[in-house]
Homo-oligomer: A and B are copies of this chain.
Amino acid sequence: MEDLDTRFMLQAIHLAKKAWYSTDPNPRVGCVITQNNKIIGQGFHIQAGGPHAEVHAINAAKDAGYDLEGSSAYVTLEPCSHHGKTPPCCDALIKHKIKRVIIAMSDPNPLVSGQGIQRLKEAGIDIKVGVLEQEAKNLNPEFIYKMIHSRPFLRCKMGMSLDGRTAMASGESQWITSTEARLDVQRLRAQSSAILTGIGTVLADNPSMNVREETYISLADNKIRQPERLILDSQLRIPLDAKILASPELATIFTTSQQLFNDKSIQLRDKGVRIISLNEVESALDLKQLMEELSSMPLNSILIESGKTLAGSFLEEGFINELIIYMAPKILGNEARGLFDLPNLQFLKDAPQLKIKDIRQVGVDIRLTAKLK
């Protein structure tokens, strides 16, 4: 029984991974339904707004002509008991007279954790929780972070030379890192809820900040789920034709209240861009207030792709959870531009400390992943 439970849960986890790049801001969830120890239906959540994994699995079993009464359901995450964009999965499991539900992990949101389990128990269903729990947690690290901490997981990506430089003194910076590193950044973007950058980067490089690789096409609609684009632009200097505004419905600009009703602001809003005002602190946007705004948005993870000033400010505020550095095997020297402006750091003991989580070769470059302590 134990071995079968593990085997079926492993299959549910495999299923959940199939939608790795498309469920955001929802979690990745897989479900397997068995009868007499044979799989009769399986499914996984593909995209926010679409059916949950349990419903896909139930429908698959019904479509194959099975009566679900007395069967077992394996789910990688506690079934929901609340009405969201779709009806609660608990109701569907109860309605189809499932006899036993095996759950890898309970809901990470402390406010609703255990409510689904409780509801199923009250309906007389046998419950087992914790099968392959860690594997299930690994499916949704950023979703879980958001649920526990009520704020998005912030990842900062940097490309630099071996001596920590991002561009020549002149600003020349194209192609510091390899094609393989840039492809890897596509993967980071594809699994992020949003990309955050500053107006300096927008004006200097006119980046699209989108996902272009077909690897990341969603199974639901054959489209790539694009991350939101968040732009910090206190003076509203962004050109209306900036590439980052190419999908204006995905763009949010943070600016000061003085800019909120001027012509540029109106033009941007007419395009479909969202404008949010923030207070100013020492002639920069208030990052603490920004974090509150970001926490109220449906974002599990944010990828920061910015210059040294903004990245440095986020680091000094202690907002960055993870740093991903692509190191190109070049030396640019001390005249070249550095990684982080940390104007308030004076003593070595106060320097931000990290823990290296992973380091590997990506093309000719090195990718280093570090967690902020």
Contact = CB atoms under 8 A, between A and B. Distances in A.
A335 interface: yes
Interface stretch (A31-39, A160-168, A283-291): A160-168
Contact of A354 (B162, B335, B353): B162
A225 B189 CA distance: 53
Contacts of A312: 333-334
Given A160-B164, A334-B308, A329 B341 contact: no
Interface string A333-372: 1111111111101111001111110010100101010100
B353 A333 contact: no
A170 interface: yes
Contact of A315 (B174, B331, B342): B331
A172 interface: yes
A167 to B, nearest CB: 8
Contacts of A351: 161, 330-333
Contacts of A330: 348, 351-354
Contacts of A175: 348
Contacts of A161: 164, 351
Given A339-B164, A366-B368, A361 B356 contact: yes
Contacts of A370: 162, 329
Nearest to A161: B351
B339 A352 contact: no
Contacts of A176: 348
A200 to B, nearest CB: 14
A313 to B, nearest CB: 11
A52 B174 CA distance: 55
Chain A interface residue bracket vs B: 35 or more
Contact of A173 (B308, B315, B348, B352): B348
A345 B368 contact: no
A337 B161 CA distance: 16
Contact of A343 (B335, B342, B343, B348): B335
A323 interface: yes
Contacts of A268: none
Interface centre among A323, A345, A351 (most CB of B within 10 A): A351
A355 B178 CA distance: 13
Interface in A137-188: 160-165, 168, 170, 172-176
Nearest to A164: B164
B329 A334 contact: no
A338 B162 contact: no
A348 B361 CA distance: 22
The 3 closest A-B pairs by CB, nearest first: A164-B164, A333-B342, A334-B338
Given A162-B323, A162-B368, A329-B370, 15 more contacts: A160-B163, A163-B164, A168-B345, A168-B347, A173-B348, A176-B348, A329-B353, A330-B348, A330-B354, A332-B345, A333-B341, A334-B337, A334-B339, A355-B364, A359-B359
29 contacts: A162-B164, A162-B325, A163-B164, A163-B339, A163-B340, A164-B165, A164-B339, A168-B345, A168-B347, A168-B348, A172-B347, A172-B348, A176-B348, A312-B334, A329-B355, A329-B370, A330-B351, A330-B353, A331-B340, A331-B351, A331-B352, A333-B338, A333-B342, A333-B351, A334-B340, A334-B342, A338-B338, A356-B366, A359-B361
